[in-house]
Each structure stands twice: as structure tokens, then as C-alpha cells.
Amino acid sequence: MGVSVGQLLRQAALQWPERIGFIERCADTDTVVEFRYAELDLRARRAAALLRERGVQRGDAVALVGENGADFVAAYFGALYAGAAVVPTPILSAAAELRYRIEHAGCKAAIFGHRQRELTERALSDLPEGRAVAALSLEALGSDGASSPLPYPADTEPGDAAMILYTSGTTGKAKGAAISHASLLTHTTVLAHRALRLGPDDRVLGVLPLTHSYGCRMVMFASLFAGAPCVLMKRFDAEKSLQLMAEHGITWVPAVPTMFAAWGLLPEGPAPGALRWALSAGAPLPAEVVRRGEARLGCEIRQGYGMTEATFATLNAPPDTRVVGSVGRPIWGIEVRVVDEAGQDQEPGRDGEVLVRGHNTMSRYLHDPAATAEVQKDGWVQSGDVGRFDAEGRLYIVDRIKDLIIRGGNNVYPSEVEDALSEHPDIEQVAVIGRPHDYYGEEVVAVVVRRRGSELNAAAVARFARERVARTKVPREVAFVEAMPLGPSGKVLKRTLREQLLAGELTAVAASRAEDK
């Protein structure tokens, strides 16, 4: 089998065949089902044999769309065992998005959960004539599979693609980032052993979707390498997840800022108790969300940083000192730079674009050498993020370059304004975006989700901001919404908010004062 991500499950099954690897809480019956490593390995080998029967060979791709569960884990490794690359697809995808991934990656098979059957059927029905894709349900793979399992997982080369992750497509069509077996396996071992320091005595909570890079690596891969049991939730629920932490003695949980915000809004009560620390990534983490989340969870919330093309480059993990706002130091084997527009390294404390190289980077964008060359220059991945180092070598992410608002020649980083507004007791969630303006170029707009029962108005939002940020950064308009549009990982989709604002689908109320002009 050699250098293959499939080794994560295969070695767990060989070393600890009877150890419980994954635990599911059935939402309908509230019963607990446990899955041992040997059982999951057998399921994966059966799935691999069935995929082989359907024509899947080494070097092919398999689309996978489904909710968290042992069936998903077995199907994922079944595709790897067959020698194929996995194309994880978020369950909230539109049929056109799934169809695009299947076509672009050249998938030979599509595996789906029962709630995603209609989505998959619609996607496959629109494929060009003559394009054959085998459709297989997770449940069928989990219960039956082939009559005889694949004896041994297929051999692959270190440079073969193990996973193809599609970007959000913020500019044009989504791009498929091909991640090699060598990259995934090396990065996982370094993360679990040196950075996270997970071991068999840990228990991990899987609230992140396994179809996303963050959940796939930190929940599924890291727990397998460490031999740490993982409790999987099909869908995030703040109250139920808190109960699971207490009942199963969860010691570590990776999540996104919206999840920590939801935990922080729960009624006061005893903390889960066994949590050593929690990890936040995927989006900016406001200081107020940290304060509320830590108070409810009873542990420190640390941060990490990465992107689809170069995931988890830095981490602020124990035993390193926790520094609120920092995403930590570069992980072993990874180098990070902060450069100016001329590509020169910035001194500590000065902003610039974050560049990354190391074992965590993608091989290429699938079928797109021009885009690959644009983002990978001289071996460094251009992140598109603005960051800075401190004197101790810790990285701070300021914002996305594309989210930067330039108002009257002044740079306004949305995350700074969001961080300030998140301290307001009546604001549950906030996103700051720019709107085109004839005079200033861009105007600052705050999109706010109020706490239930609050009568917060635009003037009060601006007044609160005025006390905490420079007047050039104060939102001149405020739009109130019931909920934010979220991506698969729980990140607020600012592009969607900007489109809604320009289309008149969001009603923004003026909130400026004369002295703010």
C-alpha cells in the first residue's frame, strides 16, 4: 500500500482491531452505536471491491456526498483502498455544483447518503450523453458492499491525488485543488503527533462536516492516526453537542467560530468537564466569542490557520502560550512568510500577504495550469490573506485581501470592525462588507443578527462602533437579518451578502453622523 492516506485506517485496524474508533448517536432513537477499527476496515475493503466491480481503478475519482457517520468513513476509505481520489461534496450543494465536480474531476462513481439521493440523481441526470457514472448509496455500501472484500488496499504512488477539494469559486468557476497522498499523510502525522498531541486516551467530537477539509483532517484523519475514539454528529446542534461532550468525556473539539458563538449563547450551566482545549479555524474569531465560548465550555479556545490550497500552516496549540487573536507559529515542516507588494519580507508588526510552503500544500489545480502558476510562485502558495508576525514569530491574520474595504483611501479591515461590534450584548452575529460609493469609493456596511427580543437599531450599532474603532471604520449603514448565509464549514458567505445588498435584497439603514464623514 505504501505512502497512502488509506494507511490511517489500515494501520489502526492492524494495531488496534478491537478498539472503538467511531461512535454515533442516532438522532431518532437516541441510541449509541460503536464501530471498531477492524469492522470499519472490512467495510472499506468491501466498498473498494464494489467500486472496482463498477469500473473504478487507480487514478480515477469518486464523488462523496453525505452526512457524518461510520458509513461515510468506510466509503471514504473504500475509495482510497480502490486507488481512487475522493471528491468530498458538501451536503448543501446544489445539483449543478455536484454535477460540475463530477464532470470536472472525471468521477467514475458518486456515493451518496439517503438524504442526498435526490440531489445526486438530479446531478447525474444532467450529465452529457454517454457519460456513465456509477451511483451508489452509503447505506448499500455499509450493509452489503461486494460479496468478497478486497484482500488488500491498492498500491498508490506518493504523488497520486488522494483528495480533490473544490474552492468556493469566489472568482469564476470553482477550482479543484488536488492533494496528494504524500501531502495528506505527512501533514496528518505531523498535526496529530507534534501539533495536537492527540493520543489513545483522548476523545474527539466530530461536529465539523467530514466533506470539508477541516473536518476531514482534524476529525477523521487525526483521530485515526492517534487511535482516539471519535464521536460523530450528523448535524451540528449546540445543546446536543454540549451534552455529548459531557456524556462521552470529550477531551478535544475542533470547530468554527459560528459554533463557538452558538455554545456561548447557551444558558449558563456546568461545563463538560474533560475538555483540554478547543480549536477554532476557518474564519475570524472575535474576542467576545472567545470569552463567551470559554466560559461555557470551560477550556481555552485556540486558533489555527490554513486554506484549501495550504491547510493548517500554523497552530496556537498547547503547550505554547495561548495568545488571543494569534493563529500561532508555523507547524513543523511548514514555512510561512509575510511579504509586501514587491515580495519582500515584512518586519514583525507590519502587514503583508501571507505565503506558505511545505507538506501541507496542494499539488495543483486540476486541469488548470495557468491558475496553478498564479497561486504557486517559486514554490510558495499565495494565500490572498493579510497577516503580520509578532516579535515571537506568532502569526496574526488581519483579513482577506479581497474583503478589504478602501473608504476614501483608508483601509478598513472588516474583521477589526466585526471584533468590536461582537462585544455588543444584543448582537448575536455580525459581518462587515463594502458597498460601492460614488464619492468614497466604498462605504462600510454592517450586517447584523440581533439577539432574540432585541430592538437594537442602526444608530445604536454605529454609536457602539464609534466608541471602539476609528471614525473612518464606523459602519454608515446597517442591515438586520434573521440569519447569515453560511458555507459548508460554517463560514459567513460575504460574497452572497454583497450580492444581496447590490440587488436590493438586503435593506440597509443609514446610521452615520456628520462628524463621521
> Which strand (E) or helix (H) includes residue 9?
helix 7-15
Residue 512 dihedral angles phi and psi, to the nearest 5° = -95, 165
What is the C-alpha end-to-end distance of the chain, expressed in Å? 65
Fold that domain 1-229 belongs to in CATH: Rossmann fold (3.40.50)
Where in the chain do CATH 3.30.300.30 domains reside?
Answer: 404-516
The upper half-sphere exposure of residue 210, i.e. CA atoms within 13 Å in the direction of its Cβ, equals 29
Residue entry with cell 479591515 = 413
Tell me the β-bridge partners of 345. Answer: 339
DSSP letter at 492 equals B
Q: Order of strands, edge to edge, in the sheet holding 310-315?
A: 32-36, 20-25, 230-232, 204-206, 252-255, 277-280, 300-307, 310-315, 329-330
DSSP letter at 474 equals S
Q: Write b or e for each residue in 137-175: b if 16 or more Cβ atoms lie within 10 A of its Cβ, otherwise e.
A: bbebbbeebbeebbeebbebeeebbbbbbbbeeeeeebb
Where in the chain do CATH 3.40.50.12780 domains reside?
Answer: 1-229
- Each of the 517 residues of the chain gets a pLDDT tens digit; together they read 678 999 999 999 999 999 999 999 876 667 889 999 999 999 999 999 999 999 999 999 999 999 999 999 999 999 999 999 999 999 988 898 899 999 999 999 999 999 999 999 999 998 888 788 999 999 878 665 556 888 889 999 999 999 999 986 444 578 999 999 999 999 999 999 999 999 999 999 999 999 999 999 999 999 999 999 999 999 899 999 999 999 999 999 999 988 998 999 999 999 999 999 999 998 888 888 899 999 999 999 999 999 999 999 999 999 999 998 999 999 999 999 999 999 999 999 999 999 999 999 999 999 999 999 999 999 999 999 999 999 999 999 988 888 889 888 778 889 889 989 999 999 999 999 999 887 788 899 999 999 999 999 999 999 999 999 888 899 999 999 999 998 877 788 898 999 999 999 999 999 865 444 4
Dihedral over alpha carbons 143, 149, 152, 158 (to 10 degrees): -50
* Rounded Cα gap, residues 27 and 217, in angstroms: 25
- Cβ within 8 Å of residue 53, ≥6 positions away: 146
CB 135 within 8 A of CB 75: no
In this structure, are strands 380-389 and 376-377 parallel, antiparallel, or unpaired?
Answer: antiparallel
Tell me: domain 404-516, CATH 3.30.300.30, correct? Answer: yes
The upper half-sphere exposure of residue 352, i.e. CA atoms within 13 Å in the direction of its Cβ, equals 21
Residue 179 dihedral angles phi and psi, to the nearest 5° = -110, 125
Which amino acid would we find at residue 173?
K
Which amino acid would we find at residue 349?
G
- Count of CB atoms within 10 A of residue 108's CB? 22
Nearest to 303 by CA among 319, 288, 276, 322: 322
